[in-house]
Amino acid sequence: MKARRVRAALKGWGGVGAMAVVLALTAVFALVLPLSQSRGDGSTGTGGQGVAEGAQTKAEDCTNPQDQSLAPSGEDGETIQDIRERGHLVVGVDQNSYRWGYRDPNSAKKTSELEGFDIDLAHAIAAEIFGDPDKIVFRAIPTNERIPAIQGDRVDMVIRTMTISCDRLKDVAFSSPYFQTGQQVLAPTTSDITGYDASLANKKICSADGSTAWENLDADKKSGKLAASADIKTTVPNQLDCLVRLQLGEVDAVVTDGALAASQAAQDPTVELKGEPFTTEYYGVAMKKEADDLVRRVNQVLVDYRKNGWQQSYDKWLEPSLGESAGPPPVKYQ
Amino acid sequence: MTYTPNGGSAPPGAGPPTMPAMPPQPGPPAAAPPAAPVAQPAPAGPGGPDPTPPRRTAWAEGVDQLRAAATTEPGRLRIIGAALALLLVAFGSMTAWQMTERSDAADNVLSSSQPLSADAALIYRSLATANTAASSGFLAGGQETAESRQEYERGINTAADRLINAAANSEPGSESAETITRLNKRLPEYKGLIERARSNNRQGYPLGGAYLRYANAKMQVMLKDAEDLYKMENQRLRSDYNAATPYPWIAIGAGVLAIGGLVWAQRRNYQRTNRVLNHGLVAATAASTVVLLWLVVGHSLARAGLNDSYDHGVRSLNVLNDARIASLKARGNETLTLVSRGAETKKVDGEVVDAYDNDYKIQMKDLSAKLAAAEDLADDSAGESPVKGATENMQVWQDRHKEARTADDSGDYQGALDRVIGSDDKKPTGQCFDNVDTDLEKALEHEQGEFEVAAEDGKGAMTGLPVGAAVLAVLGASGAVLGIGRRLSEYR
């Protein structure tokens, strides 16, 4: 099995493409095979697109990026001390992802609070650190600014439907996964697009700049998995901007995480998800690479949150568009 | 009474008596005909027998005839009369031509290019106002207020209205016409996006915000075009000024020449006849002196008026318009800082800052510089006081803005919102912006008035000059011809 994977990587799949394959494989075999050290696979390829560019460190042990987080701990460290002294947590979020992080213009509260599944989690973390869920400053961040915002200390953490990936692990640290999803194609109901397949030939496909969706599209187009005639030039700051382009007829399809695609479909009854998810991805809370204490602390919060809070938040925000949930994804630490 | 002082005219021996028999007619016709009547006898004489002259050109013959005419005093007088009449007519027509040109340019300044430049500024302002109103409406959370909707509608309507006017006044195929066409095309696109943003907002979808961002991106392109249009119209205004103000040197030169000619003719007359006054020539001299004085004084006055209208009107108007645009941009950036919540960043001197807040600061700096310049340019208290008011309001705005930023940075987003777009009891910066805008509008109105008065004065100083100059010049020419004719009749 290991040999096959290594060969796949060497054949010249982009690092990201290989990662996608690895992810798919691990999704199938994760429970069967014991985790073993495997070197030189996955992300050592030539991928490095987007945010990971120029950060080509040799990533070892990267088969299951979602299982690379540190064990939970409730200890205060340097990072948490700094946050306490500041008096509030600064969280990078999205304000455009329906049901994940957004402002409801019709909110009865008459305030401009952000709300959604990601926002609930942010409040839970603030509540744990400060004892007050509102000691928080939200910073809206475009998709391609998530990692620079963390590295530049503009935010303490990013909770923004961010996929845990091997490439990103080189730049930031992730918490344990709090949600499982996969890339999916969104297109008008009447479109002849059937999914992530040959029907995308000659179509214009929109994705968010710096998203895993774009990385996949780019790698698959290079490898030939995606028709060469597919036009993936249209990239936007936020996945929701893709729906604008789709409605205006500037693109034919959108590729994004299934969870987000579903929230787009929820805002427009004339579009739908086409085909099955073609990747498996996990969302995690991203933090600064050196902030071990914060990572452990967030994982501690997540341990409790999975038991109490996660399901309620899911039912409130996501159940209407995603349907019943089997619960949070399984967790393994480093 | 026909003398032939010397038999100089050798060749065909055109009988001296033949030609002077004819010109008894006095007055104007005499001015032109001298060449004609003389012309006939000359070829008549050698016509048949001599075959040599066919090679001679009409010009050479004319010169010969002139030379022949110049040998007699009446001939000389005719030439002098013709020359004087020519000079005077030339003076009159040069004056009429140059002053018509300048007067037209002055008219353009007043009735076309300045209003168009003001329109272009208004187009920019209305577009920016509409965009700011749309984004503030969104920012308010929930549904936009009737007030912000009205402001948006007003902005769009004014822009559309002014664009039609600008299109009608632009030269087809010119760069500004193309810019106007582009703006006209994009305006409904922009409106469409805003409508989509609204309907999605109504349904509670964040998609509304995405449409608003898209609309804003489109508006930024439109604002760039509107700014270009404003610059182009300003250039046109400047070139109209440049066409209206230079001294009409050709006309002045012609005038000096004509008067010089008249003076010389009278002096010659005096030396020959010892008579001091020749009524016709004196009248001609008086007429041309009047025209020359009118020309110089009238144009100097016009020039002074126009320059005044530029220095105290247009320059002030430009600075005030720039200030108003800067305050609008600053306001737009202030609200977008809150809309985007730090989504857009920029590196300034190695430090990552919020792109919109950074732009706000740049615009505020610009606003304060423009206000200072406007205060310097204002030449009376009526112009100065609204500018001072605007400066004070701007300072309050900056103070409140700082409070809003502090609130936002410490996590109090709602507090920051209240201080930017909240109701008046929350002391929002919106109030200060409105005050600055009102003050600037007052100042603009005042300077527009100043401009119009000065430009009207300038244009008025040229009124009647082209026609008056033409009429007087014709009168002068007639006087000169009559005067010479009078002398000429003495030879009969």
* pLDDT tens by residue, B281-329: 899 999 999 999 999 999 999 999 999 889 888 999 999 999 998 999 8
Is residue A171 domain-shared with residue A291, that is, in the same domain? yes
CA gap A73, A23 in Å, rounded: 28
* Among B207, B337, B426, the residue to mutate for chain A (most A Cβ within 10 A): B207
Which whole number is the average pLDDT over A262-277? 92
pLDDT at B144: 74
User: Which residue in B204, B409, B417 is closest to A105 by CB distance?
Assistant: B204
CA distances from B142 to A107, A137, A141, B196, B212 (A): 6, 21, 22, 16, 14
pLDDT at A5: 52
Q: With CB atoms and an 8 Å threshold, state whether B207 touches A95.
A: no
Question: Is pLDDT at A92 greater than 70 in this prediction?
Answer: yes
Q: Answer yes or no: are the C-beta atoms of A328 and A175 closer than 8 Å.
A: no
Per-residue model confidence as pLDDT tens digits over B399-455: 999 999 888 877 678 888 889 888 888 889 989 999 999 999 999 999 999 899 999
Whether A73 maps to a domain, the answer reads no
- How close, in Å, is residue B461 to chain A by CA atoms? 58
Q: With CB atoms and an 8 Å threshold, state whether B207 touches A268.
A: yes
CA gap B455, B309 in Å, rounded: 5
Among A29, A63, A97, where does a domain finish?
A63
Question: Is pLDDT at B22 greater than 50 in this prediction?
Answer: no
- B463 Cβ contact list (under 8 Å, min separation 6): B103
Q: With CB atoms and an 8 Å threshold, state whether A139 touches B417.
A: no
- How close, in Å, is residue B172 to chain A by CA atoms? 32
> In chain B, what residues touch A106 (CB-CB under 8 Å)?
142-143, 202-204
Is residue A127 domain-shared with residue A241, that is, in the same domain? no
- A134 Cβ contact list (under 8 Å, min separation 6): A123, A126
DSSP string, B375-432: HHH--SHHHHHHHHHHHHHHHHHHHHHHHHHHHHHTT-HHHHHHHHHS-GGG--HHHH
Whether A333 maps to a domain, the answer reads no
Cα end-to-end span (Å), chain A: 22
Question: Is pLDDT at A62 greater than 50 in this prediction?
Answer: yes
Is residue A191 domain-shared with residue A173, that is, in the same domain? no
Q: With CB atoms and an 8 Å threshold, state whether B210 touches A238.
A: yes
Sole residue written with tokens 């939200």: A138
Q: With CB atoms and an 8 Å threshold, state whether B410 touches A88.
A: yes
Q: Answer yes or no: are the C-beta atoms of A78 and A293 closer than 8 Å.
A: yes
* Among A86, A97, A106, the residue to mutate for chain B (most B Cβ within 10 A): A106
pLDDT greater at residue A15 or residue B117: B117
ipTM of the predicted structure?
0.74
Among A63, A90, A108, where does a domain finish?
A63
pLDDT greater at residue B372 or residue B25: B372
Whether A153 maps to a domain, the answer reads yes
Closest chain B residue to A153, measured at CA: B352
> In chain A, what residues touch B209 (CB-CB under 8 Å)?
95-96, 102-103, 240
- Number of domains, chain A: 3
Per-residue model confidence as pLDDT tens digits over B52-91: 556 678 888 888 887 887 788 888 888 888 899 999 999 9
Is residue A83 domain-shared with residue A175, that is, in the same domain? yes
Q: With CB atoms and an 8 Å threshold, state whether B206 touches A135.
A: no
pLDDT at A103: 81
Closest chain B residue to A241, measured at CA: B210
What CATH number has the domain bearing residue A201? Answer: 3.40.190.10
Per-residue model confidence as pLDDT tens digits over B209-253: 889 888 988 998 999 999 999 999 999 999 999 999 999 999 999
A296 closest CA partner among A161, A142, A176, A212: A176
Those of residues 125-184 in B touching chain A at CB distance below 8 A are: 138-139, 141-143
What's the pLDDT band for A310 if we cut at 50, 70, 90? very high
Q: With CB atoms and an 8 Å threshold, state whether A98 touches B205.
A: yes
Is residue A205 domain-shared with residue A155, that is, in the same domain? no
Domain ranges across chain B: 90-476
A111: containing domain: 78-180+281-322
Phi, psi of B123 (to 5 degrees): -60, -50
* Among B345, B347, B421, the residue to mutate for chain A (most A Cβ within 10 A): B345
- How close, in Å, is residue A122 to chain B by CA atoms? 14
A-to-B residue pairs, Cβ atoms closer than 8 angstroms: 99
Token code pair at residue B163:
């664009």
Is residue A155 domain-shared with residue A294, that is, in the same domain? yes
> In chain B, what residues touch A145 (CB-CB under 8 Å)?
343, 345
Whether A209 maps to a domain, the answer reads yes
Residues in chain A: 334
Q: With CB atoms and an 8 Å threshold, state whether A139 touches B342.
A: yes
- How close, in Å, is residue A106 to chain B by CA atoms? 5
Range list of β-strands (E), chain A: 89-93, 96-97, 101-102, 136-140, 157-158, 172-174, 179-181, 183-188, 205-208, 235-236, 253-257, 271-274, 281-283, 286-288
Is residue A102 domain-shared with residue A230, that is, in the same domain? no
User: Which residue in B143, B344, B417 is closest to A105 by CB distance?
Assistant: B143
pLDDT at B50: 52
What's the pLDDT band for A30 if we cut at 50, 70, 90? very low
Which whole number is the average pLDDT over A235-263? 92
Those of residues 212-231 in B touching chain A at CB distance below 8 A are: 213-214
Question: Is pLDDT at A3 greater than 70 in this prediction?
Answer: no
Q: With CB atoms and an 8 Å threshold, state whether A145 touches B345.
A: yes
- How close, in Å, is residue B340 to chain A by CA atoms? 6
Is residue A119 domain-shared with residue A191, that is, in the same domain? no
Token code pair at residue B174:
């010119």
User: Which residue in B138, B214, B410 is closest to A241 by CB distance?
Assistant: B214
A240 closest CA partner among B189, B344, B211, B220: B211
Is residue A55 domain-shared with residue A23, that is, in the same domain? yes
> In chain A, what residues touch B137 (CB-CB under 8 Å)?
none
Is residue A190 domain-shared with residue A259, that is, in the same domain? yes
Chain mean pLDDT for chain A: 82
